Amino acid sequence: MEVPGIGLLLGFALAVATVWLGINRWTIKLESNWPLVYYGLLVVFTNMFPGMVNPYVLYLAVICGLFLRFEFMNERVCFFIRFIEAGCFIHIGYVLFKTLLAWVG
């Protein structure tokens, strides 16, 4: 698949943001809007290049992010949802880095 320069740049930025958000999601406040900005860009990127990221994993991560941002839950439920979201981050980060290395190489 031919990828323009902006696709490589956005893919690299999303891969780095995935690692950053996966590490810092446990320490940042739940009311932060950065995960929602990340998910918005990731959905746009996935629509630009379909078939790259599994849409079920992507939208499961979006739902987890929305639950954490807009719901008031106890600590156990928040931990469980963060755990699911971390699994989604691992999958999305793996796919993005694998795809970037295939594009560059």
Domain ranges within the chain, ordered by starting residue: 5-104
DSSP track, 21-62: HHHHTTTS-TT-SHHHHHHHHHHHHHHHSTTSS-HHHHHHHH
19-52 pLDDT tens trace? 999 898 888 888 888 899 999 999 999 998 888 8
63-102 pLDDT tens trace? 999 998 888 888 899 899 999 999 999 999 999 998 888 8
Question: By the 8 A CB rule, do 88 and 42 touch?
Answer: no
* pTM greater than 0.75: yes
Question: What is the rounded radius of gyration, in angstroms, for the C-alpha atoms of the chain?
Answer: 14
